[in-house]
Amino acid sequence: MPLTDLPLDELRDHRPTIRRPEDFDRFWADTVAEARAAGGDITPTLVPADTPVTGLVVEDLTFPGFAGDPVRAWVTRPVDAEGDLPVVVEYLGYNGGRGRPGERVAWALAGYVHVVMDTRGQGSGWGGGDTPDPHGAGPHIGGWMTSGIERPDDHYYRRVFTDAVRLVDAVRTLPGVDPDRIALTGGSQGGGIAIAAAALVEAHVGPLVAVMPDVAFLCDWEHGALVAVSDPYQELVRYLAVHRDAAETVWTTASYLDGVNFAAGITAPALFSVALMDEIVPPRTTFAAYNALGSTDREIEVYAYNGHEGGGFRHWERQVAFLRAHDRG
């Protein structure tokens, strides 16, 4: 499998010009405020999960997301933990769902409260999901990239990113959780969600211990569509191949959702990863977000001979070490 993008020395200095709307911050401030108002009288619920796992506590969380819509998550924690524990919130990859309770145990076994968010409308590609998306969209290519692409207010990822922030709101209220020791992570789509959520949480909730996006998708949409050889970025290409006069509309909407624009607002310690043989997420799109970070404490782990699988469990070990070094609780 060959390298799929620029040489590493060029990637490290890659800072493309990205469209950034003048009202970007106001758009998202209003979006978060509207979601909080819509779900303000809805209390998150936490109930025991039906699982054969007994060595950990596994619970089913329902919380109000975008427009107050109910969104599901699994909460997994060590048994008989004393005091309030640090938290790792995880967002999932494209077309995946939260899966079965007790399916993801590594973070809890490492001593953290682990919260994995179901991605609305997804979960039928792998994992299995339990959160519908009740909001419709205009004509679009199968998948999520062009769902609502005519207007940023209608785009699918506006709802998902808002869910991600509202999950942190909910997590901060849970028993046994230290609200000042929360880190965000996710792979691929989940990495892109983590980037957006980190910027919005820091702007509207409070500081984070760390953000750890892994082979992050949803960054530099416009250039990603020109370089990527496979989906999901190719969904944008197929849409524009039919809607030939819609490019300006597409890229304007995308600019409100672009991880590069969110990354500039992140100040938390950041650990990124990138794979140089990745055919799904072009490495230049990850470096565009990494190089735009507002964080002064940042690292990127490069997997030169891997595709979209990235560093696998080896990278998870790297994340644990990074988080422990930055968690002063």
CA-CA distances (angstroms) from residue 282 to 11, 152, 185, 205, 240?
11, 24, 19, 31, 20
Catalytic residue among 154, 308, 326, 327: 308
* Closest C-alpha to 166, from 66, 88, 86: 66
Report d(CA 175, CA 83) in Å as an integer: 10
First to last CA, the chain: 43
- Determine phi and psi for 182, rounding to 5 degrees: -115, 130
SS (H, E, C) 64-98: ECHHHCEEEEEEEEECCCCCCEEEEEEECCCCECC
Are 162 and 204 in contact by the 8 Å Cβ rule? The answer is no
In three-state secondary structure terms, 129 is: coil
Residue 320 neighbours by CB under 8 Å, 6+ apart? 110
Are 117 and 71 in contact by the 8 Å Cβ rule? The answer is yes
User: Active-site residue 30, yes or no?
Assistant: no
Catalytic residue among 147, 188, 273, 295: 188
Give the residues across from 58 on adjacent strands.
Answer: 76
DSSP 8-state class, residue 122: -
User: Active-site residue 23, yes or no?
Assistant: no
Are 280 and 230 in contact by the 8 Å Cβ rule? The answer is yes
Catalytic residue among 69, 118, 214, 278: 278
User: Active-site residue 188, yes or no?
Assistant: yes
CA-CA distances (angstroms) from residue 180 to 52, 110, 115?
31, 18, 15
Residues belonging to the active site: 188, 278, 308
